[in-house]
Amino acid sequence: MKKNGHRNALISTLSVLLLISTLLLFGCAQNGTQTETSAEAIISTSAPIETEPVETTDPNFTCDIKGLDLAGETISIYATGHQSTTDEFYTKEIEGNIVNDAVYKRNLQVENDLNVKLNITLSTSNGESFVPNEISNLVKSGDPAYDLCTMGGYTQTPFVLEGDFYNMREVENLNLGKFYWTQGYNSTIGTSEQQYTATGMFSLSMIRNLYVTLYSKDIFNDRKLPDLYELTVNGEWTIEKLLEIIKDSYKDLNGNNVRDSADFYGFVGGTYTSADPFWTGFGISFLSVDNNDDFVFSLDPDRLINACELVQKLLVGNPDTFDLNSISEDTVLSTVRTDMFAEEQCAMVEVRLGEIEQKLSATEYKGDYGIAPFPKLSKDQEQYYGYVQDQLSVIAIVNTVADDRIDAVGATLEKLCAESYDKVFPAFYETALSYRYMNNIESKKMLDLIYNSIQIDSVYMYNSMFSWTGKMRDMAGATSTPASAIKSYSSAYSIVTEGFNYTFKKLLK
């Protein structure tokens, strides 16, 4: 196995690339393309949605590691402590909390099956880059204190390119092709030879940060609106259909002649984080890998311009949409949008699953709601895509792991993710969130569709170099046409991509 030992030689190159990227932030904008998605279309819009549960005897769903004895090896994990990640790995005992207990049982199962000891340290900081920064310092000093670490996905760029992590494609006991690893991440984050981070069913924050369209069935029924489940199954759930549904829905409930959060709207959204899911939902990919294993900043300008104009039509100056930016969209807004939905002040809203978990409990919301994916750009788009906000946890093998231990670390990581599929994922997905929509077979099928179609564009994961997220938000919030901005992005970010490829490939040498 080849160890990634060129960290120091890469730092100067990385510094130059990050400087170029920073300058581009102030001088240029960026560019987008139509997706040539490499992820399998799990559910086609032209085919009926399956209602039967996944058959777990399928080898793609079961772990291949059996009968391996690691002789009491200790595997050390440094886990992030930010936001929705604290219960992903760290738990001391059975507490009667459904998810916590499932994590405890998973850890115990891995220890028993492999004869290993898990030594898990939870970061005391809620900073998303705190753990990889600490790991980077340890790698510089050659300190092998930790074997595995987690981090917020979008923070990974400098740590990957500096050589802080081991190449997962070189680990014998790690099978990233299994269902319990997120294929819509694997297909974009690395190449056929290189991948330094992964995510999967161990990552509760991935599930919590999965965006869905939440709609009030009561309001839809009262207004005789088409049900989003039926539209989705028929392949007709598009952004133009969304615009049609919400047309003329606004009502001034408090009678003050001002559009505010006390009124009724067809849709609640904004042009900051709330705009991000649309590009993925439209099947648009920005940074992809070509047949030569090179990252390319690909672009279909016409498709992206059309997408931007439709998002602007929905979110900017639309009287039937409550604009979250009118109250400075930030982390507080998850409360605003779920509050408005719970008070029946909107027909539908875009939310993360974690917001439903936190806010719309059976005691707080008495209505009937449904779940749908984000709309497609047009009917001819082949499938729906699930978007995950970039704070999701990803995991890496620390580059100070000795070569004679790497297979043990890989086996442990593989088992952790496989047992998460068996224990943790069901506890969250089918129990912690089950009080209402798990009893609603339509919403259950929609959640299966959305999860199975997750697509995580690498431009968001390598955001600190490409900074594309902010550029798309700027375009979505603008009142002018995005055409000129999109064209100027192409050449600028092609330069950054070339530099990225150079540094990324040097990790193999």
Task: Give the per-residue SS3 of 325-394.
Answer: HHHCCCCCHHHHHHHHHHCCCEEEEEEEHHHHHHHCCCCCCCCCEEEECCCECCCCCCCCCECECCCCEE
Residue 81 lies in a domain: yes
Closest CA to 227 of 370, 48, 378, 437: 370
Nearest to 352 by CA among 205, 211, 505: 211
- Note whether residue 98 is domain-resident: yes
Q: How far apart are CA 134 and CA 148, in angstroms?
A: 12
The CA distances from residue 253 to 41, 207, 260, 262, 380, in Å, are 43, 35, 10, 7, 38
Q: Are residues 243 and 165 in the same domain?
A: no
Same domain, 106 and 164: yes
What's the distance, CA 48 to chain centroid? Answer: 26
Nearest residue to 500 (alpha-carbon basis) of 1, 7, 20: 20
Structure tokens that stand for 134 in this block: 């600490």
CA distance 188 to 203: 18
Residue 159 maps to a domain: yes
Q: Is 213 helix (H, G, I), strand (E, B) or coil?
A: strand
Residue ending a domain, among 366, 382, 398, is 382
pLDDT at 40: 30
The pairing of beta strand 287-289 with beta strand 295-297: antiparallel
**Cα–Cα distance for residue pair 241/230, rounded to 1 Å:** 13
Quote the pLDDT of residue 297.
85
In a domain? residue 492: no
Please say which residue of 326, 351, 382 terminates a domain: 382
Distance, CA of 270 to CA of 332 (rounded, Å): 13
Q: Domain for residue 464, yes or no?
A: no
pLDDT of residue 24: 33
Percent composition of the chain: helix, strand, coil (DSSP 3-state, to 5): 45, 15, 40
Residues 412 and 453 in one domain: yes
Q: Which residues of 458-476 are buried (b: 16+ CB within 10 A; e: fewer)?
A: bbbbbbbbbbbbebbbbbb
Residue 494 falls inside a structural domain: no
Asked if 27 and 128 sit in the same domain, the reply is: yes
Which pLDDT does position 473 carry in this prediction?
Answer: 82
One domain for residues 429 and 325: no
User: What CATH number corresponds to the domain at position 321?
Assistant: 3.40.190.10
Q: In terms of domains, do 204 and 219 share one?
A: no
Token pair 């923070």: residue = 155
Residue closest to 457 by CA, chosen among 315, 277, 306, 302: 277
Instruction: Report how far residue 198's alpha carbon sits from residue 335's, in angstroms, rounded to the nearest whole number.
Output: 30
Same domain, 204 and 234: no
Q: What is the reported pLDDT for 53?
A: 38
Query: Angle at which helices 301-315 and 483-506 pack, to 10 degrees?
Result: 120
Which tens digits make up the pLDDT trace of 39-61? 233 333 333 334 343 444 567 88
For residue 193 the two structure tokens come to: 């030879």
Q: How far is CA 494 from CA 30, 290, 412, 460, 497, in A?
A: 9, 14, 38, 16, 5
pLDDT at residue 3, as a whole number: 54
Which residue range forms the structural domain that includes residue 353?
Answer: 211-284+299-382
Q: How many domains does the chain have?
A: 2
In this prediction, residue 6 carries a pLDDT of 46
Give a yes or no: residue 490 inside a domain.
no
Clarify whether residues 195 and 227 are in a common domain: no
Considering the domain architecture, whether residues 242 and 193 belong to the same structural domain is answered as no
| Other beta carbons less than 10 A from residue 253's beta carbon | 13
Q: Is residue 292 part of a domain?
A: no
d(CA 369, CA 328): 27
| Inter-residue contact 305 to 486 (CB < 8 Å) | yes
In three-state secondary structure terms, 296 is strand
Domain final position from 337, 353, 382? 382
- Eight-state DSSP code of residue 477: H
Question: Same domain, yes or no, for 118 and 261?
Answer: no
What is residue 57's predicted lDDT score, i.e. its pLDDT? Answer: 54
Q: Do 199 and 84 share a structural domain?
A: yes
Sheet with 211-216, strands from edge to edge, namely 321-323, 265-269, 346-352, 211-216, 369-372
Q: Could you list the pLDDT tens digit for every one of the 509 residues in the chain?
A: 545 444 444 444 344 333 333 333 333 333 333 333 322 333 333 333 343 434 445 678 889 999 999 999 999 999 998 778 888 998 888 878 888 999 999 999 999 999 999 999 999 988 889 999 999 999 999 999 999 999 999 999 999 999 999 999 999 999 999 999 999 999 999 999 999 999 999 999 998 999 999 999 999 999 999 999 999 999 999 999 999 999 999 999 999 998 888 999 999 998 888 889 999 999 998 889 999 999 998 878 888 889 989 999 999 989 999 988 877 655 555 688 888 998 999 999 999 988 888 777 655 677 788 899 999 999 999 999 999 998 899 999 999 999 999 999 999 999 999 999 999 988 887 676 655 545 567 877 888 888 889 999 999 999 888 877 777 888 777 777 777 777 777 777 888 899 999 999 999 86
Instruction: Please return the burial class of 174, using the count of CB atoms within 10 Å of its CB with bins 0-12, 13-18 and 19+.
Output: buried
Do 92 and 203 lie in one domain? The reply is: yes
Q: How many other β-carbons are positioned within 10 Å of the β-carbon of residue 196? A: 24
The pair phi, psi for residue 322, each rounded to 5°, is -85, 120
Torsions phi, psi for 337 (to 5 deg): -70, -35
For 176-179, the CB contacts below 8 A with 24+ separation are 177/60, 178/60, 178/61, 178/63, 178/414, 178/417, 178/418, 179/54, 179/60, 179/61, 179/421
